[in-house]
Structure 1
Amino acid sequence: MSGFIRERLLDNNAALVQMLGLCPLLAVSNTAINALGLGLATIFVIVITNVVVSLIRPITYQEIRIPLFVILIASTVTVLELLMNAYLHQLYLALGIFIPLIVTNCMIMARAEAFASRNNLWPAIKDGFFVGLGFALVLLIIGMLREIIGRGTLFSQAELLFGSWGEYLTITFFSDYGGFLIAILPPGAFFVLALLVAIKKRYDLHQQQRDKTKIQEGANQENSRGAQQ
């Protein structure tokens, strides 16, 4: 994995490290399909926004760039909302207010301002895709864990996103499962997010310790060679 991709997916993940877009991340992730739907919608918006911002950056005045970016994001979300209402109506109803609230996701504005407005088209596309993918993966993992714990199923109501054949994607882990209510309520989202953040912190500490060990071993080898010479 290249450093460019790794930074956006893991090292500087928008959800686990920057803590951006937590409102939809926590509110919509009560099922895997809802989480996946909003994750894909977020990728669409951030990629389109980055593309347009990158293309118009030579003719964009610095004084108006922020209002312009807001208008671009709002326009993209409006187009997305109309498309989902037309072709994925049931998912549109399930996600509700959190589709237009994509406009308020600080992650999208941050990437437009910090990266797309300063780089060419292809890097802007890659940045938008991988930042959005990192956010969507965290959203999906939270949705999967909450659905399994709370309902005993996985990818229930997949037909909302994939059509009639999505019914075959549903996995039932416990046929007589009574459910664990707190997992699908808002507190459950905080618990699962906290668990993922803790795992990420533990992984980072492990990586730092491993890097220090490698540096120390390299220094010891250099000292040994110097002593032998």
Structure 2
Amino acid sequence: MTSYKEIIKGGVWDNNIVLSQSLALCPLLAVTSTATNGLGLGIATLFVMVFASILTSLAKPIVSRAIRIPVNVLIIATLVTSTDLLLNAYFYPLHKVLGLFIPLIVTNCAILGRVEAFATKNKVIPSAVDALAMGFGFCWVLVVLGGVREVIGSGTLFSNASLMLGEKFYFIEQTIIPNYRGFLLAILPPGGFIAIGLLLGLKNSLERLKDKSQQTVEVM
């Protein structure tokens, strides 16, 4: 049994859905034109991933291996539909912006893959922790990528957060570069590819530096 510390570290960094597994790139690149959009999709995906893992782990003793995958897909589809309806009812502006990418969470292979790889083999609490770590790892990449693209592209950060997420989020709306004319490439899909490439390069560089420091300590 892996420790909770290792599970969390793996989900957030070492085995990150985007930076290590290169999964869910389609919604990642399409939605992250702003940090607000990234946060909205990240929270929705996190919600689905956590409850899908919990329900799958609970259902494990009564679900036959022959029908396990269809049952897991059904669980995920039900949760995605519920999330879609909740967003439409209470966060309509955000739902309108995210559009098709909320229902497409069903096809996110990262969710089904993690449910199959972990939740079907472990108890409820470890499964929930693993899903929470994986979902948070996906969410922070969405927010960081969206924030970088938004600042470079528009000079703002978390623009329209109060309209999409509610008036309580007005305080996070920031104008980073006043009177900025913008840089269109950053908020277009090619800008997303460039930004994710730079983020992947940064992660790899940090891991190489960590490995070198560990080798130096061992030699000493």
Q: Structure 1 vs Structure 2: percent identity of aligned residues? A: 46
Which whole-Å CA distance do the structure 1 matches of 2:169 and 2:204 have between them?
35
SS of residue in 2 equivalent to 1:69: helix
Which whole-Å CA distance do the structure 1 matches of 2:63 and 2:216 have between them?
48
Aligned pair partner of 2:51 in 42, 48, 51: 48
Q: Which runs of 5+ in 1 are unaligned?
A: 218-229
Q: CA deviation at 1:3?
A: 2.1
The answer as to whether partners of 1:157 and 1:166 remain within 8 angstroms in 2 is no
Residues 1:200 and 2:200 aligned together: no
Q: CA deviation at 1:164?
A: 2.3
Give the aligned partner of residue 33 of structure 2: 30
Q: Which runs of 5+ in 2 are unaligned?
A: none
The answer as to whether partners of 1:47 and 1:128 remain within 8 angstroms in 2 is yes
After TM superposition, list the pairs within 5 Å mapping 1:23-172 onto structure 2. Answer: 23-172=26-175
* Residue identity opposite 2:175 in structure 1: T
Give the aligned partner of residue 209 of structure 1: 212
SS of residue in 2 equivalent to 1:16: coil
Q: CA deviation at 1:168?
A: 3.6
Which whole-Å CA distance do the structure 1 matches of 2:131 and 2:7 have between them?
12
* Residue identity opposite 1:54 in structure 2: S
SS of residue in 2 equivalent to 1:133: helix
Residues 1:176 and 2:190 aligned together: no
* Residue identity opposite 1:149 in structure 2: I
Q: CA deviation at 1:211?
A: 1.9
- Give the number of the structure whose alpha-carbon radius of gyration is greater: 1
The answer as to whether partners of 2:33 and 2:146 remain within 8 angstroms in 1 is yes
SS of residue in 1 equivalent to 2:182: coil
Aligned length: 217
Q: CA deviation at 1:216?
A: 2.1
Give the aligned partner of residue 225 of structure 1: none
SS of residue in 1 equivalent to 2:179: coil
Which whole-Å CA distance do the structure 2 matches of 1:215 and 1:198 have between them?
26
Which whole-Å CA distance do the structure 2 matches of 1:160 and 1:107 have between them?
30
- Per the normalisation by structure 2, the TM-score is 0.95
Which whole-Å CA distance do the structure 1 matches of 2:72 and 2:43 have between them?
20
Aligned pair partner of 2:21 in 18, 22, 27: 18
Which whole-Å CA distance do the structure 1 matches of 2:114 and 2:7 have between them?
14
The answer as to whether partners of 1:42 and 1:132 remain within 8 angstroms in 2 is yes
- Per the normalisation by structure 1, the TM-score is 0.92
